[in-house]
Amino acid sequence: MRPVTKIGWPQEGGNPKSYNPHTKAKTDLEGHLGCYCSYCEVFSSDLEVEHVISRDLDNTLSHDWNNFLVACGRCNGKDNKSNRNVDLTIMHFPHRNNTFLSFKYEEGGYVKVNPDLDGTASFTHAENMLNLVGLDKIPGNPKYPNLNQNDTRWKHRRVAWEWAVKYLPKFESGELSPVEVAEFASQKGFFSVWYSVFSAHEEVRQALINIFTGTATNCFDPANGYQPIPRNSANIADPI
């Protein structure tokens, strides 16, 4: 899950911009975060303004910029996050944590909690996010015996993985530059898939971070090949 940086509340005429109705925030959100679902990372022109804490749980946050992300209808739908309870202290979110460290992306569209976190609070908090939006919903997963057949997020991830694998030898042979790979990837979405497939190539990782709008640059270490690093190092219990 791509970590992102939320800017402060946009201003208009010297005052905080009004987002009533909340749908007015979509243009500003996409301008700063890109047209990617904050959770599954799909590239889409049909994203929704997503309330991190739903209006049903706290309607005082209905028009609060700090409570907004962008999400696809599937991640934000009734089968997944919707109006389920959210506790920010025990869940990883892309604007608060380095969620790239929360999960591991694998061939075939599979997503799982990063096994390197096993036995830690970080593992539990990542798992809570995984379950909140159902990133591991994929045919054959016994955890979801009644999987909604219209939930094809896994399939889009699989296709993105196949594209990345196809482009890898073209980059390694010198046919494509790092920027060309990253620009193509930015039109397909799924930053985490591309970053994973090109994990051995620092130049591509850097280009992906720079070209995917809104990526949290402080979550990657330029002094160490743009490897992902914890975002909350002062939090001993969960530095992710």
User: One-letter amino acid identity for 45?
Assistant: S
Alpha carbon distance 135, 79 (integer Å): 12
User: Can you say whether residue 121 is alpha, beta or left, with left for phi > 0 and alpha for psi between -120 and 50 degrees?
Assistant: alpha
Instruction: Give pLDDT tens digits for 118-168.
Output: 999 999 999 999 999 999 999 999 999 999 999 999 999 999 999 999 999
For residues 71-79, give the mean pLDDT: 94
Buried b (16+ CB within 10 A) or exposed e, 118-138: eeeebbebbbbbbbbbbbbbb
For residues 52-79, give the mean pLDDT: 96
Instruction: Give pLDDT tens digits for 10-39.
Output: 999 999 999 999 999 999 999 999 999 999
* pTM reported for the whole predicted model: 0.96
Going by their DSSP bridges, the two strands 11-12 and 103-106 should be labelled as unpaired
Side-chain-side CA neighbours of 109 within 13 Å: the count stands at: 20
Instruction: Give pLDDT tens digits for 103-116.
Output: 999 998 899 999 99
Between 71 and 84, residue with greater pLDDT: 71
Residue 230: burial class (beta carbons within 10 Å; 0-12, 13-18, 19+)? middle
